[in-house]
Amino acid sequence: MQCEICQSQSFKYSCPRCNIKYCSLDCYRSENHGQCSEAFYKECVLDELQHQKANKDDTRKILEMLQRIEDEPEQDFESLDSDDDESDVGDLEERLAEVNLNNADAVWDKLTDEEKQEFKSIVFNGEIDKIVQPVKPWWNNHLDEKLVRDIQEDERKITEILKECPKVFANVKEFQKISTKKPAACIIYNIANVIAAYTYIFRYYNGDHNSYDLEASNNLITICENLKSNANFDSISLAVDSVMMECHNANLFSDLSTKDAMHEDLKEIFNGPGSKSHEKSYILSVLSDIINLFKSAKQSYRQNNPKEKTSAEGGTKKTFSSEFFANDALGNFKQLENQTHFTGCLKKIEFYLSFTKFCYNIKEWPVIWEML
C-alpha cells in the first residue's frame, strides 16, 4: 500500500490522529498533513513542561524526606551487637539447617513463640511490604503512548508483551456450539466481577497464586458473587463493589486504595496491551489463568482432601496456614467441598472464555466504557 501523502513510496507509519498512512517524516510534516503535525509538536512541548515540573516536585519530596530522617533521633545501635543476638541467630540457623525452607509450615514449626509473634506483627502492621516487594502485574505492560507509531515495531513489542501473559488456551470451543442464544448484556459485567476478583487474588498472593491452588481457588470464588451464587451485575461499579464487600465479609484486607486498584486493573485488562488487533488478549489470559488454577485445585483436592492437622495430644496444631488464613472460607476450603458447584464454576469460566474469543465486541457492548 502506498503513502497517502506523496503517493510514490510504500507506507511505513500510520498517524494516530487521522489514521493516514505515510512513509517518512517529510510527508508527516507536509502541508497536506499540517493540522495533525502542528498539534503533535504542541503536545510534545506541553509534555516536556509537565516532565520538568514533575522533576521539581520529586526533588522537593526527596529533600523533605531527607530532612525528616536527619531530624529523627539517632538509634542506639549498641544493643544490636550483643552476644545474645548473635547466639539467637546461630541458634535459628541450627534449627533451620535440615528444614525445607520452601515448606512454610515446617519453618513455622521451628520458630519460637517470640519469633512467631514478631513475624505476625511485621505482617499485620504492613512492614512486610518493605521486605517483600509487590510484583508488577503482567497486565500493566502495554505499548508506550506515542503520536507517531511504527506498525512493525509495535507488533514486535506486542509479541514480547504477550510472552509475559498467562498462556491463552488454543482449543476453545466455539460459542455457537455451546449456546444458540445471544447472551444478555449483563454477561460483560459478570465477567468484570470475575476479573476484579482475579486481580485481587493476584495481588494477594503477589503473583504466586498458582503455587497455592487450593487456597487461591477457594478464595477467588469466596469473593466473586457471580461464581459463588450466580449473581448478575448491570454496571462496573456494582461488580467491583461486590468484590470489596465479599473481601470484607471474608476478613480479607481491603480499603479505598484496593477499590481504586481494581478499577484501574479493569481498565488495563479490558483495554489490552494497546493494539486493536489484540484488544481481547488480556481478558483471554485472565480467564485462561483461572481455568488452569481451578483445574490444578481440582486435582490437588482429589489427591489430598484438606483436613485439619492434629497434634499427638489430639488438639488442633497451629500451622503457618492456619495462623494467616484463619477464617472458614480459607481454612476449610469451603467453596471446594461441593465439587459439583466447583465444577460448575470451572464450566462458567470456560463459557466466558468462549464468549470473549468468539462473540465479545466492544461496539456491541459500548456501555462498559462509561466506567473505563
Q: What are 4's three cell numbers?
A: 497517502
Whether 238 and 344 share a structural domain? yes
d(CA 25, CA 13): 10
Bridge partners (DSSP) of residue 316 are 310
Whether 42 and 189 share a structural domain? no
d(CA 273, CA 269): 8
Query: Which residue's C-alpha cell is 466504557?
Result: 369
Query: 147 with 45: CB under 8 angstroms?
Result: no
Give the list of residues 6+ apart from residue 142 with CB closer than 8 angstroms, or none: 161, 268, 271, 272, 273, 274
d(CA 303, CA 164): 30
Whether 26 and 144 share a structural domain? no
Tell me the longest C-alpha to C-alpha distance in the chain: 88
The reported pLDDT for the residue numbered 198 is: 98
Neighbours of 292 (CB within 10 A): 15
Q: What are 296's three cell numbers?
A: 490444578
Q: What are 143's three cell numbers?
A: 505499548
Query: How many structural domains compose the chain?
Result: 2
Give the list of residues 6+ apart from residue 48 with CB closer than 8 angstroms, or none: none
Whether 32 and 168 share a structural domain? no
- Is the residue at 60 inside a domain? no
Q: Residue 352's domain spans which residues?
A: 138-370
- Is the residue at 182 inside a domain? yes
- Is the residue at 330 inside a domain? yes
Per-residue pLDDT tens digits of the chain, which is 372 residues long: 788 888 888 876 766 567 677 777 778 777 777 666 555 555 544 444 444 444 445 444 444 444 444 454 444 444 444 455 444 455 777 777 777 776 777 777 888 888 888 877 776 665 666 667 788 999 999 887 766 667 788 788 988 999 999 999 888 999 888 888 888 888 999 999 999 999 999 999 999 999 989 999 999 999 999 999 999 998 899 999 999 999 988 888 888 889 999 999 999 999 888 877 788 999 999 999 999 999 999 998 888 764 544 444 444 555 665 666 544 434 467 888 888 999 999 999 999 999 999 887 755 554 454 444
Which of these three, 13, 35, 55, is where a domain ends? 55
- CA neighbor of 272 nearest in space, from 147, 184, 142: 142
d(CA 11, CA 369): 32
H helices present in the chain, as ranges: 25-29, 34-71, 83-95, 104-110, 113-124, 128-131, 151-163, 175-178, 187-204, 213-223, 225-229, 236-249, 256-271, 281-303, 320-324, 328-331, 334-337, 339-358
- Is the residue at 156 inside a domain? yes
Whether 197 and 294 share a structural domain? yes
Distance of CA 263 to the CA centre of its chain: 11
Whether 169 and 29 share a structural domain? no
d(CA 33, CA 145): 20
Query: 279 with 272: CB under 8 angstroms?
Result: yes
Whether 205 and 325 share a structural domain? yes
The reported pLDDT for the residue numbered 46 is: 46
Kindly report the pTM of this predicted structure: 0.64
Which of these three, 40, 55, 70, is where a domain ends? 55
Neighbours of 22 (CB within 10 A): 23
The reported pLDDT for the residue numbered 81 is: 47
- Is the residue at 334 inside a domain? yes
Q: What are 51's three cell numbers?
A: 516532565
- Is the residue at 118 inside a domain? no
- Is the residue at 221 inside a domain? yes
Whether 170 and 300 share a structural domain? yes
- Is the residue at 124 inside a domain? no
Which of these three, 55, 76, 101, is where a domain ends? 55
The reported pLDDT for the residue numbered 128 is: 65
- Strands of the sheet containing 13-14, edge to edge, are 21-22, 13-14, 149-150
Q: What are 165's three cell numbers?
A: 501473559
